[in-house]
Chain A
Amino acid sequence: MKYVLLFVGTMEDQERFDAMPSEEMAAGMKAAERWFEEYSQAGKIVGGEQLKGPQTVTTVRSSDGKRIVTDGPFIESKEVIGGFAVVQVKDLDEALEMAKSWPAGPVEVWPAVER
């Protein structure tokens, strides 16, 4: 079954990360890359990306039949999505195991609709 793992954090987390000394930041990035590598080799990761900050996001939506383009994420909140991974595993427990071994911050585990 497919799950989407969303790597989430607060704006403060994001700012703290941005302000990190470059060595520390590199170590953090490396740990995340290793996580992706290991699970990809095990055939459990179908896809995934690291995302740029919320200040770079643009939202497109419809209003009165017109397409409206606005600055910022659709869901206004203090939380941000730093990235995601699409994983193919047996069940929720296996997805939770992966999430538990993620080296940085909270992870939301979303089951995907099967087609």
Chain B
Amino acid sequence: MVRLIGNFDIAEEVVQDSLLVALEKWPVQGIPDKPGAWLMTAARRRAIDLLRRDQRYAEKLALLERSTMPPDAPEADDRLRLIFTCCHPALAQESQVALTLRAVAGFTTQEIAAAFLVSEAAMAQRIVRAKRKIVEANIPYRVPQGAELVPRLDAVLAVLYLMFNEGYLSRGTQVASRRDLAEDAMWLASLVARLLPDQAEVLGLVVLMRLHLARSGARFDTAGEIVLLPEQDRSRWDSAAIADAVEVLNRAAAMGAHGPYQLQAAITAVHARARSWRETDWSQIVALYDALLRLTDTPVVRLNRAVALSQVSGPRVALGEVNDLAISLAGYHLFHATRAELLDELGEAALARAARIRALELCQNPAERTLLERKLRQAPGA
């Protein structure tokens, strides 16, 4: 048991130490050519925070973000072990997320607490309990092998996707998006992709995140209000990043192991490459949603498919599909918001208004609330 306590705590310490060493040396010796090789994962975020304060380092920072570490480096093994241990299914998923942010991404407990809208004391307790369980239940500090790898990797990807979504469109009531959380999730996913290069679904998740972030410049207007996909100024999308991401997705597809992340990435890619909402290849998107449904048949996937379907088969057909989800998605604000849009198209202003009011009651994100309120004011029945 002592050996295990050693393992987990030391692993965390080692990465922190590597940072201290790097920060002490860099101002004297200059930043090394491949600074990424200097830093273990947990150290990176602190380093970036410090580096951001100094403009002269901007160039080196770009290098740090792009730096590749040889997958067989011992530090790489440690990082991967740390990620798999933090995302062990014996820990509650909310603890997996918190622990990954703390031990792997180097967030402070205070930052994690703020991101998930709980008190710092509660978050500290959650992290301490999770660490204690790792030690006391003897959760091994290693990368799962053989048949165990894929299901365990799924758990890791789920944590990273959750982290990304929380950053990309926060559930919280105070801010609309936390780009740094989303960026860190993407960085961690890229790291896992580098360490496990033959896993197509990891690449799928990386591409999905990169495509979302490539469009993020157009998601909010100057007043901070959300701009939905049909109205976004597509010239503000990062077309180079989109092209890069699509290339990686093709590489993943060539591996022949399809999965839900690659399909979601493919759907996002069709949107990302369309010149306008109108010119989007909607039948391709519906076909991709059909493939996704065969893998993961969830009400939310069905809802999204219905939105695409309305562009192919019209709002009435789509509304029929959406209404079938009334029970399972009764508490989901986007179910009611989607119904409102379809009802508007069908000229059912009163029903649309009722649905939008229900959506507003259920929605906590400030930017989405503003949007719903604006639509309520502009609606014909208002």
Which candidate, A48-56, A61-69, A76-84, A90-98, is the interface stretch facing chain B? A90-98
Closest B residue to A90 by beta carbon equals B140
Pick from B1, B140, B144: contact of A114, CB under 8 Å: B1
Residues of A within 8 A of B138 (CB): 1, 91-92, 111
Q: Let me know if B1 and A92 touch, CB within 8 A.
A: no
Q: Let me know if B140 and A93 touch, CB within 8 A.
A: yes
A109 to B133, CA, bound (A): 13
Q: How large is the interface on A (under 10, 10 to 19, 20 to 34, 35 or more residues)?
A: under 10
Interface residue? B223 (CB, 8 A): no
A111 to B133, CA, bound (A): 10
Q: Let me know if B137 and A92 touch, CB within 8 A.
A: yes
Q: How distant is A113 from chain B, measured CB to nearest CB, in Å?
A: 9
**Binary flags per residue of B132-146, CB closer than 8 Å to A gives 1, else 0:** 000011111000100
Residues of B within 8 A of A114 (CB): 1
Q: How distant is B317 from chain A, measured CB to nearest CB, in Å?
A: 43
Residues of A within 8 A of B326 (CB): none
Closest B residue to A110 by beta carbon equals B137
Residues of B within 8 A of A91 (CB): 138-140
Pick from A90, A93, A111: contact of B136, CB under 8 Å: A111
Residues of B within 8 A of A1 (CB): 1, 138
Which residues of A come within 8 Å of B, CB atoms?
1, 90-93, 96, 109, 111, 114
User: What would be 22 A-B contacts, judged by CB atoms less than 8 Å apart?
Assistant: A1-B1, A1-B138, A90-B140, A91-B138, A91-B139, A91-B140, A92-B88, A92-B90, A92-B137, A92-B138, A92-B139, A92-B140, A93-B139, A93-B140, A93-B144, A93-B148, A96-B90, A109-B137, A111-B136, A111-B137, A111-B138, A114-B1
